[in-house]
Amino acid sequence: NAIGKTLIMGFAQTAKKKEVKEYFLRGKRIAQKHIDLFSDILKKEDLPAPMTWDTALTDSTIPVFSDKLMMFHVSAMIAAGIGNYGASMSG
């Protein structure tokens, strides 16, 4: 979730369409909720929570990828995350 959040933040900076940018920003908020939830659980068990990757972002707004490619990548990332949640619940 931490890496995904940072990737989505970068995509949001460069998205051309308003709807795409809003979708990414919503995804960022959801990812942050998941990070907070899991970090709290780890901290309660005296385990270290992973650090964020937000410092890796630049302030560039020049699009490198198309909105369509960024949406595809984020959709695939979300699908993989849901699969990981499902696999972790089954174990």
Per residue, the 3-state secondary structure of the chain, as one string, reads CHHHHHHHHHHHHHCCCHHHHHHHHHHHHHHHHHHHHHHHHHHHCCCCCCCCCHHHCCCCCCCCCCHHHHHHHHHHHHHHHHHHHHHHHHC
Residue 36 has pLDDT above 90, yes or no: yes
pLDDT at residue 91 is higher than 90: no
Q: What is residue 85's predicted lDDT score, i.e. its pLDDT?
A: 92
User: Span 48-61, mean pLDDT?
Assistant: 88
Answer yes or no: pTM beyond 0.95. no
Domain segments of the chain as ranges: 2-90
Give the per-residue pLDDT at 52: 85
pLDDT tens by residue, 5-20: 999 999 999 999 999 9
